[in-house]
Structure 1
């Protein structure tokens, strides 16, 4: 259950990071409310996961899921670069996240 909460928390992290782009300095009401809501849900789910998982593992996986997801959304929605070195580095993050899950009991 902790891993599911952690993964969903990472997805909400992607949501609030992307949402920041649409708030335009928190001057747009709806995007701002959605972004703040995603922040709250993301941190709440991270806290739930940290009740069971080691803090360092939970935080690193949360950040990794958020980072990989944000890069993917940036490539998909905002035409950010998808060159091989960037994708290779994202692959390293994925390997690290999988490794942390594998070694955490």
Structure 2
């Protein structure tokens, strides 16, 4: 039950961040468009963060100095944390996006 409460708060947070009412008409095309735009923005941010993480991993393999290695490890931890947050936001956003049913042919 506590998980439901947290999920509800995160869902509200997604809607609040998009400046939507806590109980908007999720089927409205304008709401769906804003949700789709936010989803694409998060995907771009995930791609960017994955590149940062990849670069930090390459740097970690090449680094021999302990002090620099600690700095690189810190960047990697931050990148992992941000990726988890972004994936969580994307998952909560997906929960609000209505699946468009294909129109019947014929």
TM-score by length of 2: 0.40
TM-score by length of 1: 0.40
Larger radius of gyration: 2
The structure, 1 or 2, with the larger RCO (C-alpha pairs under 8 Å, 6+ apart) is 2
